[in-house]
């Protein structure tokens, strides 16, 4: 079927050429703009919901609250997310989606033990932990996702499992530290990784309760001051903190 726009233009101007490509391009551009607006709306709703979930928790937040905070209607929320449970799930998924790029950035910057080039694995692990701490402190979706996961029994939606990916990533970094000769010979990387992850997220829980993570970097430095001497072949914990806190 010939598009109405093309048919009309050919009828009105006998010299006009049939140019369906131009029409398709215009429709594609319009569709792209619509998609961009929809994505922006979804993001606005997600961040509004995250800020409320972080402040009030899941039970203390209503769709009406989210509509007011976001400046959109309740109908817009239901159009994009269907229910409060789906919106909470999207926040938690956004929380977990933050970590793979950070792990990729820090965990896969390998050093060469034979030439002494690159960043040692233990230093990269410390740097990664401070980057994660800053995300917890500064990113509303990360903070809200963490709170929602602790309230998971209230949410009628399956939430992603935490911690397993972290234990795997830390295990790999400690194994590299062993290869580089920086991990104490009596340390088992997998068991140590479980301990590090438990301690790390324990610090976050306590820091959140004390001051909403405002002092999380200080608390994390204290944790590493205790852990690193036990992990390292040659304890030099204090030298890592200024560099790690800069990113």
| pLDDT (tens digit per residue) in 143-156 | 999 999 999 999 98
| 43 and 128 housed in the same domain | no
- pLDDT tens, position by position, 125-146: 999 999 999 999 999 999 999 9
Higher pLDDT, 36 or 21: 36
**Domain span at 51:** 16-83
By the 8 A CB rule, do 67 and 85 touch?
A: no
**Residue 87 above 50 pLDDT?**
yes
Asked if the structure places residue 110 within a domain, the reply is yes
| DSSP label of 109 | -
Round to whole Å and give the CA distance between 182 and 232: 6
pLDDT band at 159 (very low <50, low <70, confident <90, very high): confident
Q: Which of 44-48, 149-153, 161-165 has the lowest mean pLDDT?
A: 161-165
Which sign does the torsion angle of CA 101, 102, 105, 109 carry?
A: negative
Give the chain's end-to-end CA distance (angstroms, integer).
Answer: 59
Structure tokens at 80: 């994009």
Average pLDDT, the chain: 85
Same domain, yes or no: 61 and 154: no
In this structure, are 105 and 57 located in the same domain? no
Helix (DSSP H) and strand (DSSP E) numbers for the chain: 12, 0
Is 65 a domain residue? yes
On the CB side of 50, CA atoms within 13 Å amount to 23
């Amino acid at each position: 079927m010939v598009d109405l726009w093309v048919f009309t233009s050919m009828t009105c101007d006998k010299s006009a050429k049939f140019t369906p490509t131009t029409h398709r391009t215009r429709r594609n551009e319009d569709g792209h703009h619509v998609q961009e607006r929809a994505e922006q709306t979804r993001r606005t709703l997600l961040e509004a919901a995250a800020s409320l979930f972080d402040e009030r928790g899941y039970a203390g937040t209503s769709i009406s609250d989210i509509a007011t905070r976001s400046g959109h209607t309740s109908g817009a929320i239901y159009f994009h997310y269907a229910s409060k449970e789906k919106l909470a799930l999207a926040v938690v998924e956004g929380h977990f989606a933050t970590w793979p790029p950070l792990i990729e950035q820090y965990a896969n910057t390998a050093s060469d033990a034979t030439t002494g080039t690159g960043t040692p694995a233990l230093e990269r692990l410390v740097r990664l932990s401070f980057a994660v701490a800053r995300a917890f402190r500064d990113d509303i979706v990360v903070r809200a996702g963490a709170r929602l996961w602790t309230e998971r029994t209230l949410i009628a939606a399956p939430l992603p499992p935490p911690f397993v990916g972290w234990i795997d990533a830390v295990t790999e970094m400690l194994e590299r530290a062993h290869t580089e000769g920086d991990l104490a010979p009596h340390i088992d990387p997998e068991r140590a990784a479980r301990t590090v992850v438990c301690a790390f997220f324990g610090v976050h829980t306590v820091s959140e309760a004390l001051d909403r993570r405002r002092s999380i970097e200080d608390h994390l430095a204290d944790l590493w001051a205790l852990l690193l001497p036990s992990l390292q072949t040659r304890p030099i914990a204090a030298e890592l903190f200024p560099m790690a806190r800069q990113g």
